[in-house]
Amino acid sequence: MQIYNTMTGKKEEFVPLMDKRVGMYVCGPTVYNFIHIGNARSFIVFDLVRRYLEYKGYDVTYVQNFTDIDDKMIKRANEESISVFELGERFINEYFKDADALGIKRATVHPRATQVIDSIIEFISDLVAKGYAYQTDDGVYFSVEKFDGYGKLSKKNIEDLISGARVDVNERKKNPLDFALWKAAKPGEPCWESPWGKGRPGWHIECSVMSSKYLGNSFDIHGGGPDLVFPHHENEIAQSEARNGTVFARYWMHAGYLNINNQKMSKSLGNFFTVREVLQRYDPMVVRFFMLSSHYRSPINFSFELLDQTAGGLDRIKNALIRLNGLKGQAGDTSADFSVREAVQKEKDRFIASMDDDFNTAEAISNIFNIVSIANSRVDEGSGQALIKFVSGTICELLGVLGITFNLNADMLDEEIECLIKERQEARARKDFKTADRIRDELKERGIILEDTPQGVRWKRK
């Protein structure tokens, strides 16, 4: 299996620290609002990575945190006249509603920053003792120049960063790049006792502590959005490796940006969508399938038109499964069954090869569609029952790797019916009357009656 490592800028063979066991940390949401679709892409991508590793037989310890104390949370809580803790609890619950709908599995552990304050204080104390951190009257800072190799993940040069730093920096810092490990308490803000007075942790230190607490000082995969490479992940590396003297994360993975109608998603442009808003219009599986239809490292353009197209493609797979499940088949194998089984197995092998190549879901999904085409053209009532079950089971197995699930027993939606009618019309246009008749019969079995008229196809339910 090959994984693209942001640290080295190339694909590398994945070799975990412990045979068949994987430690994986993914930066979770700051819980002051509903998650947006950009967040959703990252969370779906790393859920997919976890699912595939488990499919390959790895025991995955998956840690995804909640940042439940920071400036945005304090501001929002004050606006609503509630505590930061009440705000965090509310939006953690809202996160789980959206994540569950999108098929994102619960992490092995979901630590909260406020639950590990003692560990954070211990971590910072070690950095101070080793000379990597210093105290000022407004908190404790990490000394970037003390850490050899700062900028190695983001490929940024420390001298260039210093010269490009803004003039209006905190004059208490020894270096403009030094970042806060502990922030001294301000009036009205939540705070905790520490050796440096009352205060609260900085953002970067939270993830270093939560990852090491549950995965150890060195673990396999660290994931997040591309906007986290610098400074967040860069700072995590610096403080973690300075304290522990060992490689922090061995493989760094970052999902690509998500744009809206070819523009960067932003509140100022009015093109900012929460997952909750999108799920009011689309099935969650359509959103998930859309997010996985492109390679995870590639930028992806989001639009409702593209979601409509995705829904049509997903319906094609769903309708193929419905048809296969409705076939009775013959008791024994037929002469054609072996070649069909072989063709489907080849596509399954190609699916696995695609996923082994840095989780190339775009190619993997095309392999599923190839199996669907084989099923629609080469599997019918004349096929053996075992073959029908094998083809249907293979499609469901590979969809399961992607986290895509269907309720095949639900009544057909109008959109599904229209999609099948369109597929039938296309088959008739190319004189593929066998496929056209099959679709008509399938609809009839499910209680949908078609009527060909000079004005087009009309349909009604029995």
Show binding-site residues for Zn(2+): 27, 207, 232, 236
DSSP β-ladder status, 21-26 and 139-142: unpaired
C-alpha closest to that of 143 among 56, 244, 242, 59: 242
Residue set of the binding site: 27, 207, 232, 236, 267
Rg (CA), the chain: 26
Contact between 141 and 128 under an 8 Å Cβ cutoff? The reply is no
Residue set of the binding site for ATP: 267
Give the whole-angstrom CA distance, residue 63 versus residue 234: 19
Task: State the distance between the two ends of the chain, measured CA to CA, in whole angstroms.
Answer: 51
Structure tokens at 58: 């790895």
Give pairs for 39-43: CB < 8 Å, separation 24+.
39/225, 39/275, 40/98, 40/102, 40/275, 40/287, 40/291, 41/255, 41/256, 41/258, 41/291, 41/300, 42/223, 42/224, 42/225, 42/255, 43/99, 43/102, 43/104
Taking residue 15's Cβ as centre, other Cβ atoms within 10 Å add up to: 11
CA atoms within 13 A on the CB side of 7: 17
Cα of 113 vs its chain's centroid, Å: 21
Cα of 67 vs its chain's centroid, Å: 18
Identify any residues that bridge with 284 across adjacent strands, giving them in sequence order. Answer: none
- Tell me, what amino acid is at 425? Q
Phi, psi of 152 (to 5 degrees): -70, -25
C-alpha closest to that of 107 among 24, 40, 29, 39: 24
